[in-house]
Structure 1
């Protein structure tokens, strides 16, 4: 009666159908527990997790002799391990860099950094293709091109090639450049702060925007024109 669970060398068709339904629902629940992610931003760790889970749960769907309990238990263990790593990465920014790669600047101020292309193992032809896919076929319009942690390349165009707004008309707009993170989850990134000022300057900027200390800020960035962006940890009450 429970051949679909225990396995059998003559598992009937309905047994495979029941197994398929169980595996589908089980994977659906795992995805819900792990949380929603954009399919376009899957990093290497998520990719490995997907391949391993697919291999573990896919085999009992093709081999009726295998019991279902073992693969489901193994998938649960791997999902729990993957979820634990995600929580650790959220709570420990330093450990996060072990799991997630730093963005790599491939083009800076309109100059292609060929050494960085070589480190990232990206050919010039592949790089140019990615730029075209970002609607940036004219290299003279590009200020920065960055290889993100998920393997995609993002492009920051020079300010004069941005879509014009009313405030841009008849104005000499300074280059925004590549934004640097000054505060991440309440933690000051001193290496980036020292590039644009010092800790006293940072505290002055924080107070200027109405915050008492960095712990109230989730992320703070500054671009090369000196414009800062702050996203608080909690939304300020409306006045």
Structure 2
């Protein structure tokens, strides 16, 4: 009866399906316990954790003879170690420097630092490609280029090449803030509508923009400045 947990040479297909469901929920709970992290800020410790967890819990999904208790316990221990290291690194700056790489300055005051490129094992062609991907193909406009701890290159342009802001033009526009989704795929999100107005107000806004009803709209958002964005449904 519990072959899906203990393992069996003749584990049926439904046993593998049950195992897959258990592993998925288990990994989901582990991720929730460890806390939300930005995918763009994954460091070496997070990468190692992901590889180890995937290897530990992936094998019993393909080998029905293996019991599930061992991998589950090993994954729990690995998650506990990862959480402990993350907490210690958070409260101990010196230890943090051991597991997190310092940013490397690759370009300073418009001058490419060749020694730092070699230290980071980045070729000049790769460096120039990264700059182009960040709309910084004109090297004369760049003040700093920095290799961040997550492996991406950030660019700081010289002040005279920064885009003019409303503050530079002595203007004080109202903050747009966070945009709320009021209609998604033709369906009204009533919980969001109640935060900014009423359903009658929304219907009036829809008609004001030339639509008969919400079913004609794929996406409608409203920001805190009152700006409405509408993307119609393709017919």
Decide: shared fold, TM above 0.5: yes
Q: Which residue of 2 aligns with 1:16?
A: 16
- After superposition, what is the alpha-carbon deviation per residue over 1:31-54, rounded to whole angstroms, capped at 9, x for unaligned? 000111111221111011100100
Q: Which residue of 2 aligns with 1:119?
A: 119
Q: Which residue of 2 aligns with 1:25?
A: 25
- Larger Rg: 1 or 2? 2
Q: What is the alpha-carbon distance in structure 2 between the residues aligned to residue 133 and residue 29 of structure 1?
A: 36
After superposition, where does 1:143-162 map in structure 2 within 5 Å?
143-162=143-162
Q: What is the alpha-carbon distance in structure 2 between the residues aligned to residue 166 and residue 52 of structure 1?
A: 49
Q: Which residue of 2 aligns with 1:194?
A: none
Structure 2 length as normaliser, TM-score? 0.71
The secondary structure found in structure 2 opposite 1:168 is coil
Q: Which residue of 2 aligns with 1:41?
A: 41
Tell me the CA shift for residue 9 of structure 1: 0.3
Tell me the CA shift for residue 169 of structure 1: 5.5
Q: Which residue of 1 aligns with 2:77?
A: 77
Structure 1 length as normaliser, TM-score? 0.69
Q: What is the alpha-carbon distance in structure 2 between the residues aligned to residue 46 and residue 167 of structure 1?
A: 40
Q: What is the alpha-carbon distance in structure 1 between the residues aligned to residue 106 and residue 151 of structure 2?
A: 12
Moved over 4 A (4+): none
- After superposition, what is the alpha-carbon deviation per residue over 1:128-183, rounded to whole angstroms, capped at 9, x for unaligned? 1111111111111100000000111000011111111244359xxxxxxxxxxxxx
Q: Which residue of 2 aligns with 1:141?
A: 141
The secondary structure found in structure 1 opposite 2:146 is strand
Tell me the CA shift for residue 90 of structure 1: 1.1
Q: What is the alpha-carbon distance in structure 2 between the residues aligned to residue 134 and residue 34 of structure 1?
A: 32
The secondary structure found in structure 1 opposite 2:135 is coil
Q: Which residue of 2 aligns with 1:67?
A: 67
Aligned residue pair count: 170
Q: What is the alpha-carbon distance in structure 2 between the residues aligned to residue 136 and residue 62 of structure 1?
A: 47
With 17-26 and 33-42 compared, the bigger mean Cα shift is at: 33-42
The secondary structure found in structure 1 opposite 2:78 is helix
Q: Which residue of 1 aligns with 2:98?
A: 98
Q: What is the alpha-carbon distance in structure 2 between the residues aligned to residue 20 and residue 81 of structure 1?
A: 24
Instruction: Note if 1:168 corresponds to 2:168.
Output: yes
The secondary structure found in structure 2 opposite 1:22 is helix
